[in-house]
Every structure is written in structure tokens, then in C-alpha cells.
């Protein structure tokens, strides 16, 4: 077999796609970003954590019902497709600048992304809202002053 650049690209693409398995059925054919479904995930949580809308999420995951009652734990879902704008532009990193006032005992962080709310974050990490506010003392009671791209404490 003659080895060409297109063969190499197809082989690499096949390896990348197969690395994201198992996948829920009904994923968009042009999916290029994935999320591994874990306990506590909802369509709103997955969408918010990936900088997309719930409508986008549902359109790229046609097997997921509109009530989001059938996410399969331990399977990948689509959170981005080629040619789409997701609002984020870049993925959060663990080296994000922290919000002011975080306790020195904080050992787990979440980088604030577009669409994040306190409720989304506490649901994602399985923590109480009271603990979240205690660990992030500069947040106001409406949780409207989180800084996009900055880290909040989700474990102390």
C-alpha cells in the first residue's frame, strides 16, 4: 500500500475518533469535541461547561431527548462540531488566575466558562451551595460576579 499524506491523516483521524468511545448514538457526523458523561451531568451542565447552548447540544446529540433524561453514564457526547462557534474559544486550564480570597486549603478548582452559574458549578462537582460560597467569599449572593476565565474553589 502506498503511504500518502491523506492516508496518514485518515489513520490519525480514525485513531482520534476511536479514542472517544464508547459514544452515545446520534452524534453529529462532524463532531470534533467530546464530553464524557459522569454522574450529575445534565444537558445544561454539559452545555455550560463547554460554552455551548442546550439547543446546540441537543442538535449535535440527536439520541438525547429534549428533557435530557437519557444521558448514558460512561459514554461520550458531542460538545462541538467543525465550523461552529461555541462561545468559549479556548479550554479552561488548571493554571487560571484564581478569584480573590480563595482559601489556602483549596485543592480543587474550576475555571469559570461562559454560561457558568453557581448552581451549574455545584451540581457539576457535587458540593453544597453553602460550601461553594464559603470557599469563594468574594462572590455575591446572586453569584453574578464570577470572572470569566478565573478559577473558583470547588474543594477545600
Q: What's the pLDDT tens digit per position in 119-140?
A: 999 988 889 999 999 999 999 9
Give residue 110's pLDDT band: very low, low, confident or very high (50, 70, 90).
confident
One domain, residues 76 and 118: no
Q: For residue 111, which phi and psi values (nearest 5 degrees)?
A: -85, 125
CATH code of the domain covering residue 46: 3.10.350.10
pLDDT at residue 9, as a whole number: 43
**Domain contains 146:** yes
**Domain contains 10:** no
Q: What's the pLDDT tens digit per position in 33-85?
A: 899 999 888 888 888 777 777 888 888 999 999 888 999 999 999 988 876 54
One domain, residues 74 and 114: no
Rounded mean pLDDT, 95-118? 82
**Residue 59 contacts by C-beta under 8 Å, 6 or more apart in sequence?**
28
61 in Cβ contact with 22 (< 8 Å)? no
pLDDT at residue 1, as a whole number: 46
**Domain contains 100:** no
Say how many domains are in the chain.
Answer: 2
**Domain contains 142:** yes
One domain, residues 77 and 114: no
**Domain contains 34:** yes
**Domain contains 5:** no
35 in Cβ contact with 79 (< 8 Å)? yes
One domain, residues 64 and 115: no
> Residue 52: which domain range?
21-81
**Domain contains 61:** yes
Radius of gyration of the CA atoms of the chain, in A: 18
One domain, residues 25 and 64: yes
Lowest pLDDT segment from 6-15, 53-62, 93-102: 6-15
Instruction: Please tell me the pTM assigned to this model.
Output: 0.46
**Domain contains 93:** no
Amino acid at each position: 500500500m502506498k503511504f500518502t499524506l491523506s492516508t496518514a491523516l485518515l489513520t490519525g483521524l480514525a485513531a482520534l475518533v476511536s479514542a472517544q468511545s464508547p459514544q452515545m448514538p446520534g452524534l453529529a457526523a462532524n463532531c470534533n469535541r467530546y464530553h464524557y458523561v459522569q454522574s450529575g451531568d445534565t444537558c445544561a451542565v454539559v452545555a455550560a461547561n463547554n460554552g455551548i447552548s442546550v439547543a446546540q447540544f441537543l442538535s449535535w446529540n440527536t439520541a438525547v431527548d429534549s428533557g435530557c433524561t437519557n444521558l448514558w453514564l460512561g459514554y461520550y457526547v458531542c460538545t462541538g462540531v467543525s465550523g461552529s462557534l461555541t462561545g468559549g474559544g479556548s479550554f479552561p486550564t488548571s493554571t487560571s488566575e484564581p478569584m480573590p480570597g480563595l482559601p489556602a486549603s483549596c485543592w480543587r478548582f474550576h475555571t469559570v466558562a461562559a454560561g457558568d452559574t453557581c448552581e451549574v458549578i455545584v451540581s457539576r462537582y457535587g458540593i453544597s451551595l453553602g460550601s461553594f460560597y464559603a470557599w469563594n467569599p468574594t462572590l455575591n449572593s446572586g453569584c453574578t460576579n464570577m470572572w470569566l476565565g478565573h478559577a473558583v474553589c470547588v474543594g477545600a
